[in-house]
Amino acid sequence: MVDVSALPAFVLAVTAVTLAPGPDNTYIAAVALRHGPKAGVLSAFGMACGMVVHVTAAALGLAALLRLNPEIIVVIQVGGAAYLAWLAFDAVRGLGSRTAMDGVPATRDVLVRATLTNLTNPKVILFFAAFLPGFVKDGHGSPAVQMLTLGTLFLLVGLVCDVAIGVLAGRLGRALDAHGRAGTTLTVVAACVYAGLAVLLLVEAARTLAE
């Protein structure tokens, strides 16, 4: 059982981490702007799927392994950067044929893309590797169970925040599209976001190597 007295501080910290600009929420906003609220919500659930992996890994002690072997994180970050760069290329491919806001892609595609983005998010990786263990207290049961409980709470808080971001950004995209043929503009914005996130991951990888 986790230390209940520490939960308010934990929830506050998780909310701050979730809402702070980063790869996950920026990606959700970009997808929602381009494809609408439904795609934004699906992306939020895709992020939650990635969080399931993070939570499970933390409970199994893999977070500690990543903390001791930062080169593993570098490999993950470089792979994520390559994937996001491909998404940017895919977004602008055939750009000239788009004149209106894109429809929602296949549900599986949206979920898989969001899950992969979350799995390579350095903010989440570092949270589980460095910050989350600080809330695991002696005398409150199995550390693995505490990590699992705290990680699940992180997942739920993150899902609520991400769904809100997806809905709001999707409605904004629809509003922009209603006032003109904004599909091309929104696609360019999404491509720039994907490319920017790819660069961010490469910078984080370089920083990790330099430490």
DSSP at 61: T
Domain membership flag for residue 202: yes
Residue listed under structure tokens 């169970």: 145
Cβ neighbours of residue 17 closer than 8 Å, sequence gap 6 or more: 123, 127
Report the Cα–Cα distance between both ends of the chain, in Å, rounded. 35
* Number of domains, the chain: 1
The residue count of the chain comes to: 211
Domain membership flag for residue 128: yes
Domain membership flag for residue 10: no
Please give the pLDDT value at position 121: 80
Q: Write the pLDDT tens digit of every residue in 61-92.
A: 765 666 666 676 677 778 777 877 887 787 77
More confident residue, 33 or 204: 33
Domain membership flag for residue 13: no
Domain membership flag for residue 14: no
Domain membership flag for residue 56: yes
Q: Write the pLDDT tens digit of every residue in 129-183.
A: 767 777 777 777 777 788 888 889 999 999 999 999 999 999 888 887 655 555 6
Domain membership flag for residue 29: yes
Average pLDDT over the chain reads 79
* pLDDT higher than threshold 90 for residue 45: yes
Domain membership flag for residue 12: no
CA distances from 137 to 6, 151, 154, 155 (A): 10, 14, 17, 20
Backbone angles phi, psi at 21, to 5 degrees: -55, 130
- Give the rounded distance of the alpha carbon of 136 from its chain centre: 24
Q: 92: domain range?
A: 22-210
Reported pTM: 0.74
What is the sign of the dihedral through the CA atoms of 157, 173, 193 and 41? positive
